[in-house]
Amino acid sequence: MVQNRQIELELLAPAGNMEIGKAAIDHGADAVYIGSPRFSARKNAANSLEDVAQLIEYAHLFNARVYIALNTILKDSEVQDAINIINDLYKVKADGVIIQDVGLIEQDLPPIPIIASTQMHNITPEKVKFLEDVGFSRVILARELTLEEIGSIRAKTDIELEVFVHGALCVSYSGRCYLSQAVCGRSGNRGECAQPCRLKYTLKDSKECVIIQNKHLLSLKDLNLINSIKNLAEAGITSFKIEGRYKDMAYVKNVVAAYRQAIDEFIKSHDNYKQQSSGTVHLKFEPDIQKTFNRGYTSYFLVGNKEAKGLAAMDSPKSIGAEIGKVTTIKKGGFLISGSLLSNGDGICFVTKTGNLKGFRVERIEDGLIIPSDMEGLAVGVRLFRNRDHQFLKLIDKKSSDRKIGVSMVFEQRDCEAHLTVTDEDGHSVNSTLKAPYNKAREPQKVKEEIKSQLTSTGNTIFEVKDFCIATNMFEPGFLPKSLLNSLRREALEQLTVLRKESYEVKKRGILKCKNLIYPEKNLNYQANIFNRYAKNFYEKYGAEVVEQAFETGLASSGKIVMTTKYCILKEIGACLKNTQNKKVGKLKIELPLFLTDGNHTYKLQFDCQKCQMYLILNS
């Protein structure tokens, strides 16, 4: 009876640099994504080819993958440079390239897997099916999709599907935000976003009446789907992606470790799934996603519009952390709290009466009295949040995890040689043999114990011995010097390391599956992000009419939609226009249209209640 093939699940982690990428692997990532030397959507997270190659070599030891982000839109003059980079990445065995610019897809590229960036606005089954048929190997879905929508895409496609499960949320659909380009001259689609969405805004109506003043109205909480692994896997997701190529080492270690545990727990109770990479992670700390950077958490739209309120972090775009209790007593120079114990060096924050986020450092604690660096604004009843856990960070700043490949060992002593066979958990096997004249042992049992002790001491290698035996033969183990046993083990493990490197196979790029493909959209304006003639030719080849080039070509921005978002300010404040029974609308006396202003620029808000979308239109 043929068993069903197990579905491989991939935990995909961010790598701002090579060192963070290696740490992500050590803490349980099945794959990492890292910026290419140029053309990454995080321009300041670029990496040299040499560093990328080192990370790839390390990852492949664990059968972990490395994907390279090359996901900006390109000028005509940059396309050949991008092709050259992709060729270099193929030579160093990168597992895939993440792109946004379709001008690359039909160039003379090596057979490296091509991944469709979330910047490509991948939201419909028709779009994803087209990308599959045209040769993409994987599609990164928009963060805004519900489980139902993901399931619909899975039902109509066979391509690998990847989703973001944790980290910062762009308020706009990725790839459909031109706010930074319009007001700062820095394009998000070119890797230079200035993040104007994290600034303070005032919401006014058509009569200049202020509805909300000076709040971070476009700044969202962070995504957290750690409790949705089961639902996502059953909807057809095989790659779970953590955002954060600008995040530090401590963040990556903690969040990756937390999601490794969650995915392992799911796999343990579902026989039809398995981990994509190899090895076992041995943590030296207990991960806690509340203890690293977060603006508060949301599941966004995963379960539909039920969760479409409470998405914004209006008080501050900074990390707020976990609530630890309330101030119970104010004394001279310090205070007491209910709730968690604090430590010297902790970072604490709270929301002031004026709605601003204020923070302080715990200088010291004397007999329970917390003495802060600043007492201003503290009062009895104030809710406190810890956004820097000094003891936790101190713990994971050290070596906080080991990842080991399990091996079995079989030792045999022959007439004039010692022989060791080592087989790893993936079935790779090597043999090591050294000349060793037989010297009968006075205490055979003691010798056996010594042989086992020396051969299983794998030290700082990537291997751990799960099973060891001494082969039965005509010889009882004889005395062997420790140095010989160490050499025997070292030679075998070195061979096994080389074998793992050499036997790793990179998947090949998909091929064009259908010659008569038609792109699912007919007329493409600036929101298609067409920035070079190759991209234009691509879309026209598949039946679309390009009516407008990319916003970044210098398109006049006044009167244009500069942001398309599923987040709705009115729904956020309880004034949804679709709800005719909503008493909040009447109370606010809203006179449409509404406007956002940051003091320098004004944006008209347009609401498409049927699609549940909001648009920002640059007014001035």
Per-residue confidence (pLDDT) for residue 477, from 0 to 100: 79
Per-residue confidence (pLDDT) for residue 434, from 0 to 100: 94
Give one DSSP letter per residue of 69-89, joined into a string: E--S---GGGHHHHHHHHHHH
- Do residues 179 and 562 touch, judged by C-beta distance below 8 A? yes
pLDDT of 304 > 90? The answer is no
Give one DSSP letter per residue of 108-165, joined into a string: S--S--EEE-GGG---SHHHHHHHHHTT-SEEE--TT--HHHHHHHHHH--SEEEEEE
Rg, the chain, Cα only? 28
**Average pLDDT of the residues of the chain:** 93
- Do residues 189 and 130 touch, judged by C-beta distance below 8 A? no
pLDDT of 306 > 60? The answer is yes
DSSP state for residue 17 in the 8-state scheme: S
pLDDT of 32 > 90? The answer is yes
What would the mean pLDDT of 47-53 be, rounded to a whole number?
Answer: 96
Per-residue confidence (pLDDT) for residue 308, from 0 to 100: 62
The predicted-structure confidence for 548-559, as pLDDT tens digits, reads as follows 999 999 988 889
Give the pLDDT band of residue 543 (cuts 50, 70, 90): very high
DSSP state for residue 20 in the 8-state scheme: H
pLDDT of 426 > 50? The answer is yes
pTM above 0.85, yes or no: yes
- Do residues 295 and 313 touch, judged by C-beta distance below 8 A? yes
Interatomic CA distance for residues 429 and 425, integer angstroms = 10
Give the pLDDT band of residue 274 (cuts 50, 70, 90): very high
Domain range annotation of the chain = 7-169+221-277, 318-397, 402-503
CATH topology of domain 318-397: Thrombin, subunit H (2.40.10)
Give the pLDDT band of residue 580 (cuts 50, 70, 90): low
From 154-163, 300-309, 431-440, the region with the lowest mean pLDDT? 300-309
Give the pLDDT band of residue 1 (cuts 50, 70, 90): very low
Distance, C-alpha 227 to centroid of its chain: 16
- What strands lie across the sheet with 210-215, from one edge to the other? 210-215, 201-204, 594-597, 602-608, 613-618, 561-565
The predicted-structure confidence for 402-412, as pLDDT tens digits, reads as follows 999 999 999 99
Strand boundaries in 276-378, DSSP class E: 280-283, 297-298, 322-331, 334-337, 347-351, 357-366, 369-372
Question: What share of the chain in percent tops pLDDT 70?
Answer: 96
Asked: is 402-503 a CATH 3.30.420 domain? The reply is yes
> From residue 107, how far is each of 23, 80, 111, 133, 550 by CA, in Å?
35, 9, 11, 16, 20
Structure-token pair, residue 186? 């820095």
pLDDT of 3 > 60? The answer is no
The superfamily (CATH) of domain 7-169+221-277 is Aldolase class I (3.20.20.70)
